[in-house]
């Protein structure tokens, strides 16, 4: 049984809020059975308040807000948010430059939407399998282990941020370096993708210990 260590001010019967407008306007016939049950449950149970970072506008993206929170230091959300917007602007500028320089037939292949680039880059950085330390008979082995979706996303974002904070020239600013890394990840190149491949190779090498996993 899982013993939760953190507690929340909400009663456990409170459900998560659903912010997107489209999910409320779907007609009844299109819903599957599970969704119908979910709707009935929502009609009876109380619902938690929406957090300040979540909004129904087109511009709010849960992935981007998670990334901004991870970049934030000492609660300075204003700075983190401005860095994020400057990064997205830098990506757009670089892509537009490439777009205008490219010949006619290649213009369609160049992606200009920074949100699409961000999502694709994150997806490319996500590892499929991870390693975990298991101690048997005094020795600690690195055992390959499947990762949950949340863990994959977290690792991808963490690697990007640590990469940008450490391996840069003293004078480059965060938005520029981040946009560079994101574009490289989008094209499946760059140090973050390399780190992911190294992890995969380690997991493949330690394949013999896979039976140590008991979960």
Partner 1 sequence: TLRLICTTTAVQKRNVGASGPEKYTEAFIKKQIEEFNLGKRHLANMMGEDPETFTQEDIDKAIAYLFPSGLFDKQARPLMKHPTEVFPEQRKIQWGEDGRPFHFLFYTGKQSYYSLMHETYEKFLNVQKHQDQLTAQDLPLQKEKRNLAGSRWLTKIELEEMLLEKVSDDDYSRFIQLLQKLVALPCADIEEKYIQKFSKEVPVQLQKVVIEPLQHDERGVAFSTGEGKRKTARATAVVYDNGTGKITVNGIDILHYFPVLQDREQLLFPFQFLGRIGKHDMVCTVSGGGRSAQAGAIRLASAKALRSFVTEKEVEFMRQAGLLTVDPRVKERKKPGQEGPRRKFTWKKR
Pairwise CA distance, residues 179 & 199, whole Å: 24
For partner 1, give the closer residue by CB, 14 or 141.
14
What are the tokens at 6? 């953190």
Contact 183, 117 (CB under 8 A): yes
For partner 1, give the closer residue by CB, 53 or 86.
53
Give the 3-state DSSP-derived string for 139-181, with helices as H, strands as E and coil as C.
Answer: EEEEEEEECCHHHHHHHHHHHHHHHHHHCCCCCCCHHHHHHHH
Q: Does 13 bind partner 1 (CB under 8 A)?
A: yes
For partner 1, give the closer residue by CB, 12 or 137.
12
Among 26, 35, 55, 96, binds partner 1 (CB under 8 A): 55
Binding mask 29-48 for partner 1 (x = CB under 8 A): --------x--xxxxxxxxx
For partner 1, give the closer residue by CB, 84 or 178.
84
Q: Does 4 bind partner 1 (CB under 8 A)?
A: yes
For partner 1, give the closer residue by CB, 41 or 96.
41
Stretches 1-9, 104-112, 165-173, 183-191: which one binds partner 1 (CB under 8 A)? 1-9
Closest C-alpha among 98, 154, 94 to residue 122: 154
Among 35, 60, 173, 207, binds partner 1 (CB under 8 A): 60
Pairwise CA distance, residues 207 & 193, whole Å: 21
Q: Does 77 bind partner 1 (CB under 8 A)?
A: yes
Pairwise CA distance, residues 103 & 130, whole Å: 42
- We find the least distance from the C-beta atom of residue 24 to partner 1, in angstroms, to be 4
Q: Does 11 bind partner 1 (CB under 8 A)?
A: yes
Closest C-alpha among 191, 190, 182 to residue 87: 182
Can you name the residues that pair with 47 across neighbouring β-strands? 15
Sign of the alpha-carbon dihedral angle for 14, 18, 23, 24: positive
- We find the least distance from the C-beta atom of residue 199 to partner 1, in angstroms, to be 32
For partner 1, give the closer residue by CB, 77 or 200.
77
Contact 157, 123 (CB under 8 A): no
Chain residues in the site for partner 1 (CB under 8 A): 1, 3-4, 7-13, 17-19, 21, 24, 37, 40-50, 52-57, 59-60, 77-78, 81
């Amino acid at each position: 049984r899982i013993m939760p260590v953190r507690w929340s001010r909400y009663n456990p019967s409170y459900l998560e809020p659903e912010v997107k407008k489209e999910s409320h306007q779907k007609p009844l016939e299109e819903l599957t059975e599970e969704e119908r049950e979910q709707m009935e449950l929502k009609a009876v149970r109380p619902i938690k308040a929406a957090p300040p970072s979540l909004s129904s506008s087109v511009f709010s993206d849960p992935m981007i807000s998670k990334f901004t929170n991870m970049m934030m230091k000492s609660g300075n959300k204003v700075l983190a948010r401005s860095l994020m917007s400057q990064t997205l602007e830098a990506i757009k500028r670089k892509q537009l430059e490439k777009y205008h320089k490219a010949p006619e037939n290649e213009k369609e292949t160049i992606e200009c939407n920074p949100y699409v680039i961000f999502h694709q880059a994150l997806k490319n950085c996500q590892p499929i399998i991870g390693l975990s330390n298991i101690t048997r008979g005094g020795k600690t082995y690195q055992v390959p282990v499947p990762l949950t979706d949340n863990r994959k996303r977290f690792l991808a974002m963490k690697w990007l941020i640590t990469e940008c904070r450490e391996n840069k020239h003293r004078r480059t600013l965060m938005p520029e370096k981040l946009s560079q890394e994101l574009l490289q990840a989008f094209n499946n190149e760059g140090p973050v993708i390399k780190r992911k491949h190294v992890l995969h190779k380690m997991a493949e090498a330690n394949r013999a210990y896979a039976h140590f996993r008991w979960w």
